[in-house]
Amino acid sequence: MAESAIGGSAGRTSHEEVGLRFEVDGEIATITLDRPDRRNAQTFATWSALAHIGETLPQQVRVVVVRGEGPSFSAGMDLRMFTPEGIPGQESLADFALLGESAFEQRIAQAQQGFLWLRRPDIVSVAAVQGHAIGAGFQLALACDLRVLADDAKLCMKEPALGLVPDLTGTKPLVDLVGPSRAIEICLTARVVGAREAAVIGLAELVVAPEDLAGAVGDLTAALLTADRDAATATKRLLQGARNRTLEEQSAAERREQVARVKALFAGS
Ligand code: ACO
């Protein structure tokens, strides 16, 4: 089990203080959004903590499970950020609006760091989603490589309805998974995508009964860990690059990865 703190040496904040739990069990790390009384609403502190977990992830970890405590995976950005008072100790959206454009973009980039590392080739990230995954919650699920949904899951990209764009790295995986037309429809209508539809349109690998969610994620995690570690990393890297390469380029990438694999397998023999 591991627990660490975020921030510099001064004013360190534990993950628990920002509503996160972080546990490591061998090759599996579990990040739990743990503010069920607020339906796991997220703040800038949440995103800093997620980024810190990524930066300090123990080297042995191969699978990262992202889950939420309580009835909802995450109700998205904490709506107090919209209020003039904001969240005690944190800047509100009104404060950000006063920043210069590049300083504001820098703040968003920091928040995005909490999501981007979940695509690292050396890990596989799995979102376990029950109940609502709204806005930032939906984007956190999209930041993961795989999504296992309870059949009560409700996905909703609510940002445009609130005058915002989805900016927590969710637009690319959404378009990659469902195509631009369906993504436009889902985002601009801010409608709820249920679990069954999510599976049909490619947003979920698996849909199970809510009581089976943890077990299904455990089974999937165990199956993912059966692959050779270095081969899994190389294969994920290969697959991630495939969409942006031609067939010839991808074939060349396969050759490069395979040469490295076979040389590593037979090194010293
Ligand atoms: N921010 C802050 N507090 C929240 C949020 C949120 N995003 N979502 C829920 N809460 C709080 C509620 O205010 C309530 O607090 P209270 O007990 O002090 O009154 C508590 O969590 C429980 O919420 P309920 O609405 O009672 O829970 P319910 O299960 O009925 O509904 C649901 C859950 C559907 C998620 C609902 O809370 C909701 O619609 N929340 C807002 C979702 C939203 O608009 N998010 C912003 C998306 S945009 C973005 O993420 C950038």
Per-residue model confidence (pLDDT) at position 13: 62
Per-residue model confidence (pLDDT) at position 167: 98
Say if ligand 1 is within 6 A of residue 103 CB: no
Query: Phi-psi category of 137—alpha, beta or left, where left has phi over 0 and alpha has psi -120 to 50?
Result: alpha
Of 2, 71, 84, 76, give the one whose Cα is nearest residue 37: 71
- Locus of tokens 């950020």: 81
Going from N- to C-terminal start, the domains of the chain cover 5-224, 229-265
List the chain residues with pLDDT less than 70: 1-13
Give the model confidence (pLDDT) of 57-75 as tens digits: 999 999 999 999 999 999 9
Between the CA of residue 192 and those of 11, 38, 64, 197, 210, what are the distances in Å? 39, 20, 26, 10, 18
Per-residue model confidence (pLDDT) at position 260: 97
Per-residue model confidence (pLDDT) at position 269: 79
Say if ligand 1 is within 6 A of residue 41 CB: yes
Distance CA 201, CA 193 (A): 10
Per-residue model confidence (pLDDT) at position 7: 44
Distance CA 48, CA 176 (A): 26
Q: Which of 37, 39, 187 to mutate to test the pocket of ligand 1 (most atoms within 8 A of CB)?
A: 39
Per-residue model confidence (pLDDT) at position 258: 98
Give the model confidence (pLDDT) of 79-100 as tens digits: 999 998 899 999 889 999 999 9
Ligand 1 atom with minimal separation from the 77 CA: 50
| Full-model pTM | 0.95
Say if ligand 1 is within 6 A of residue 74 CB: no
Homologous superfamily (CATH) of 5-224 is: 2-enoyl-CoA Hydratase; Chain A, domain 1 (3.90.226.10)
Per-residue model confidence (pLDDT) at position 6: 52
